[in-house]
Structure 1
Amino acid sequence: MFDVLIVGAGMVGASLACALGDKNCSANRNLKVGIIEGNGNFLRGEFTADGRASAIALGSSQIWQNIGVWGLMQRRGVTPMHMIQVSEGDLPYQVQLRCEDMGQEALGYIVENAVTLASLWEFARECQNLELICPAKILDIEHVSDRDLMRVKISSEIGEQYLETKLLVGADGGRSQVRQMAKIEISERLYEQTCIVTTVKSENSHQNFAYERFQPSGPFAILPLGSDRACIVWTATKEETPILLALDEPTFLQELAKRFGEPLIQKLGNITVESRTRINYVPRWMHSQTYIQPRLALIGDAAHTTHPIAGQGMNLGIRDVNALANVLKAAHQNQEDLGAIAVLKRYQSKRKWDNLGVIWLTDISNRLFSNHNWVFKVIRRLGLLLLQISLLKRVLMYFMMGLHQTPNK
């Protein structure tokens, strides 16, 4: 019998497992936690090498620091963002968000997903109260109300078996099987866009500057890695996507350079594409009607997804982890039933409105900037001008950095 059984050992699920682990928290020692993951490569220490990276808000890095895993990520390599420049293409309407404006060493960090996963799994392996069940996949879930538990049917290398837990946590992504098996309804909207992800190397240093350049097709993000590399998240229209994906490398590089803009290309010098493949995905707006049921909770993309504009998706998931872990640890110390709906409501109340607010804000921002309508052009240029006002800029940075959700120690 597990106290908590987590489905999905990606960045969000593994973060929750580490937060409930006993490596740095002796109070968790008698909390039995299991984590189910279908990707056997993770067990062998083989993590994605596609160059994808996430923008980690300062608040999220503080959550990982409190768990005890941030130091492992730093040793593997994280890149601080000292400045983020937001602009409308090559027009002079731009806002520069600088870390010194908030009295911080960084606005946030760019961390390659492989670095995050390797660090989380290293930490998890050192927790005596965690059991890694990998590779395995769930086949069915059943709430056994008369015994106050959730029964989970899984398939693994040893065949089919049943696991029992006081609380089942779905951290298995936007197409969550846990959510579907629990018959939790969602609100959903697909964007007529595709995000193309690639990694480039520049002749000159990027100086830890990140760029969010809004084009008619959607946002074009340049995220610094190391001293001279960058992860590119290029939002293209549905019509542009197949053309861009089919281009040979020299032509693709030419099109890429156009999106950088001449001033930035002159600053960075020659750029070359490092990625072997052009990873692409269709962004979508999704929100679960509830995050909880008796004996069940959803976190991260299993509960909500958003457009990648401003890189908020991963940070929402990490804030979910922080909230749920704090609720569960407090309930455990108070000898409460971890799967009781009264306990889980505390988690949902902490996270629902923050998640919905960010999802709607990113949706509105994407629609505002990704069109040719002259009315929206006037509104967005006025908005960029207003953000030159120090107070408004500081408020925006405070929320983007995740400082409104200060992690509990």
Structure 2
Amino acid sequence: MTAPGRVSLAVPIGAGVVTALVGFTSSFAVVLTGLRAVGASEAQAASGLFAMSLVMAFGITGLALRYRIPITLAWSTPGAALLAGTGAVVGGWPAAVGAFVTVGIAIVLTGVWSGLGRVIAAIPVSLAQAMLAGVILPLCLEPVRALADNPAAVAPVVVTWVVLLRFSPRWAVPAAFAVAAVVIGISLTTGDTEIGARSLLPSLDLVAPTWTWQALIGIALPLYIVTMASQNIPGTAVMASFGYAVPWRASMTVTGVGTAITAPAGVHAVNLAAISAALAAAPDAHPDKDRRWIAAVAAGASYLALAFASAALATLVALAPAGIVETVAGLALLATLAASLAAALSTEADRVPAAITFVVAASGVAIAGIGSAFWALVLGLVVRLGLTRRA
């Protein structure tokens, strides 16, 4: 048996590359969809993807080298899904950018002020997960609609996802996107669309933030809650399951500052990785837990490479036939939907409030310019409080 210290560097480096590839390809379509939904142009959405990849690349590398643990970062996929369900707000894209800046500041405050963290922890998990499930439900329905409208283009993507889900779940969504890319390529070769060379080069499209109370309540507040409840807290738990204590203050500072500074470029939220964190922190990355930080550094380097490919991928997505991108995004969120529904209904006493939260969030109804996610959480909390007092 090979001693842990003699394991080839190729093992953790390979694990890091896989971590970045899976994390990026499995959800970047969701990110682009969410940014466009709240008012970003194609160029601004591509800028956000590029900037987020840079923040993750340098953030992961810095934290891993400083603390010698396989800590990895990710963009907030649930947060992007929330943006997709929220849609445009009063003030447009600049107001959305202002909300992103606010989320970054709130994440930093969570790291330095324990009271704010206790407030988030006090929100019932069942209601937070029900809100998330309701928000992403419309996106999860898109593959069904797309398959009915354009079966020839969408069916290969869905079939690939189903097959890989059986044999290699972590690669199911990346493989589905690969097939989608082939479908898009065929569509481009048979059409008359021309791709300019400049559209393949990444760039930062900066927008000055503005603040509206509708965007702060309808985007910033639910985005912050979803990012903390569905990414940062579970990410800490995943790392703890492999014997690592996440440097909470440093992590929140890096991700919060990174989000706030790069929000004008389109960054909605960067946070601790949750699901993909296990790819770099598990024993498969290296038998010696004190050497798995190498996998995180490799993931950071891989995200840097992916950052410079982001514009080409965003251009590919922008030229996709109707339903293709929505299908990939919906398939990427199905596992999140299943987990959120299970968590929302796990506590019998909270099932009715959770159901109300889920239904209101899924409705997509905006009241007073504020999206359904906020109202869903408010109504869920009110009903839960009323039922608790009656009991």
- Kindly indicate which of the two structures has a greater share of residues assigned to strand: 1
- The normalised TM-score by structure 1 is 0.21
- Structure whose CA Rg is larger: 1
- Kindly indicate which of the two structures has a greater share of residues assigned to helix: 2
The higher-RCO structure (CA 8 Å, 6+ apart) is 2
